[in-house]
Amino acid sequence: MTRTLGVWMLSPAGAFDLRAALSAELHAAIDELSVGLIKPQAVHRCRVRVKRARALARVGSAGAPGLASVFDDTARGVMRTLTPVRDVSALAETALKFRKKSRGKTAAAFEAMAHALDAESAARAPLDVQSAHTGLKDLLALALVWPEPSPSQVRRGARRIAGKARRAFRRARGAASEALRHDWRKREKDRLYAAELLGDAWPTRRRRKTGEKLGEMLGREHDVCLLLTKMTAAPILANEERASERAARTLRKSCKRLARKADALGARLHLGKA
Residue 9 within a domain: no
Residue 3 within a domain: no
Confidence of residue 240 (pLDDT cuts 50, 70, 90): low
The whole-number pLDDT of residue 13 equals: 46
Residue 122 within a domain: yes
Residue 14 has pLDDT above 80, yes or no: no
Task: CATH number of the domain at 178, please.
Answer: 1.40.20.10
The whole-number pLDDT of residue 10 equals: 47
Residue 238 has pLDDT above 90, yes or no: no
- pLDDT, tens digit, 9 for 90 and up, residues 126-184: 888 999 999 999 999 999 999 999 999 999 999 999 999 999 999 999 999 999 999 99
Instruction: Calculate what percentage of the chain has a pLDDT beyond 70.
Output: 92
Residue 27 within a domain: yes
Domain range for 180 is 14-269
What does the alpha-carbon distance between residue 264 and residue 170 come to, in Å, rounded to a whole number?
A: 12
Residue 5 has pLDDT above 90, yes or no: no
Mean pLDDT of the chain: 89
The whole-number pLDDT of residue 237 equals: 59
Residue 274 within a domain: no
What does the alpha-carbon distance between residue 77 and residue 56 come to, in Å, rounded to a whole number?
A: 17
The whole-number pLDDT of residue 57 equals: 97
DSSP states along the chain:
--EETTEEPPPTT----HHHHHHHHHHHHHHHT-SSS--HHHHHHHHHHHHHHHHHHHHHTTT-HHHHHHHHHHHHHHHHHHHHHHHHHHHHHHHHHHHHH--HHHHHHHHHHHHHHHHHHHHSPPP-HHHHHHHHHHHHHHHHTPPPPPHHHHHHHHHHHHHHHHHHHHHHTT---HHHHHHHHHHHHHHHHHHHHHGGG-SS---HHHHHHHHHHHHHHHHHHHHHHHHHH-GGGGSSHHHHHHHHHHHHHHHHHHHHHHHHHHHHHTTT--
Residue 2 within a domain: no
Burial of 21 (0-12, 13-18, 19+ CB in 10 A): buried
Instruction: Calculate what percentage of the chain has a pLDDT beyond 90.
Output: 70
What does the alpha-carbon distance between residue 54 and residue 72 come to, in Å, rounded to a whole number?
A: 6
Structure-model confidence comparison of residues 8 and 130, the more confident one: 130
Is there a contact between 155 and 198 (Cβ–Cβ < 8 Å)?
no
Residue 12 has pLDDT above 50, yes or no: no
Residue 218 within a domain: yes
* 247-265 mean pLDDT: 96
The whole-number pLDDT of residue 239 equals: 60
Residue 223 within a domain: yes
Residue 38 has pLDDT above 60, yes or no: yes
Count of domains forming the chain: 1
User: What is the identity of the amino acid at 247?
Assistant: A
Residue 70 has pLDDT above 80, yes or no: yes
What does the alpha-carbon distance between residue 221 and residue 251 come to, in Å, rounded to a whole number?
A: 10
The whole-number pLDDT of residue 37 equals: 73
